[in-house]
């Protein structure tokens, strides 16, 4: 994933995260290295630009989270 695309998806994720109700933030939205990732964990990974952030954003893009 290119840097430009990463930043665009990161921005879209942060906007989407802000609209997710607090109780739903504990729901699983991705799987990384056979481990479930919740909205909250995804936010931390993406905010800190970790190695897992790209994997999470790619999965969310594939399932259409950013198309809505």
**Please, is 9 exposed, middle or buried when counting C-beta atoms within 10 Å of its C-beta (0-12, 13-18, 19+)?**
buried
Q: Is the pTM of this model over 0.85?
A: yes
- Report the number of distinct structural domains present in the chain: 1
Q: Is the pLDDT of residue 68 over 70?
A: no
| Distant-in-sequence contacts of 39-48, Cβ < 8 A, 24+ apart | 42/13, 42/17, 43/13, 43/14, 43/17, 46/10, 46/13, 46/14, 47/14
Range of the domain at 23: 3-67
pLDDT band at 63 (very low <50, low <70, confident <90, very high): very high
Which pLDDT tens digit goes with each residue over 3-41? 999 999 999 999 999 999 999 999 999 999 999 999 999
Separation between Cα atoms, residue 51 and residue 27, nearest integer Å: 21
């Amino acid at each position: 994933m290119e840097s430009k695309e990463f930043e665009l998806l990161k921005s879209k994720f942060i906007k989407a995260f802000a609209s997710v109700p607090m109780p739903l933030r504990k729901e699983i939205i991705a799987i990384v290295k056979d481990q479930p990732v919740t909205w909250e964990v995804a936010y931390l990974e993406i905010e800190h630009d970790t190695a897992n952030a790209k994997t999470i954003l790619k999965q969310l893009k594939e399932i259409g989270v950013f198309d809505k």
